[in-house]
Amino acid sequence: MTRFTPGPDTARDFRDALGQFATGVTIVTCLSEAGPLGITANSFASVSLDPPLVLWSPARASKRFSAFEAAEHYAIHIIGEDQIDVCGHFVKNGTDFDGLDWHEGAHGVPLLDGCLARFECTRHAIHDGGDHAIIVGRVTAAAIGQGNPLLFAKGAYGRFTGAG
């Protein structure tokens, strides 16, 4: 194990160390001034059951950051291993919903069909998170599907191969 102090000279090492933690993959959607908008994110966590709160953390450097920071309503979709193409779709282009299975939910928020779970949220709080913002949402509606999760670790997508 190599020990280091995170800083500008060890940024790659720090990123690689963080990449050792496997996360699920989400797509967050909102209605923006330009229309439906989506972004792929792996910075998602549950916060509270009562009240029902979740968080996600968009990068301030993202061209889509200001739209998501301003969004009063949004949806977080937990992506299944069979939706890797949808995930890649929103990495490249956040405004192209052509060919995707989706419908408009409350407040015009685009809701993707076929995901493992979906959380429709109202913005609860935004906190400074350095080069990211921490957006906390109150879940106003949730849905659950079936399948296996798409995972992200060490800079690559993968799947869970548990004993069950």
Q: What is the pLDDT of residues 111-148, one digit of tens each?
A: 999 999 999 999 999 999 999 999 999 999 999 999 99
Terminal Cα-to-Cα distance of the chain (whole angstroms): 31
- Residue 67, judged by CB atoms within 10 A of its CB (0-12, 13-18, 19+), counts as buried
Look over the chain and give the mean of its residue pLDDT values, rounded to a whole number: 92
Tokens 């739209």 correspond to: 67
pLDDT band at 45 (very low <50, low <70, confident <90, very high): very high
* Check whether domain 24-147 has CATH 3.40.50.300, yes or no: no
pLDDT band at 162 (very low <50, low <70, confident <90, very high): low
Q: Residue ranges per domain, the chain?
A: 24-147
The pLDDT value recorded for residue 103 is: 96
Per the structure block, which two tokens stand in for 122? 């109202």
Counting every residue written for the chain, the total comes to: 164
Backbone angles phi, psi at 29, to 5 degrees: -125, 150
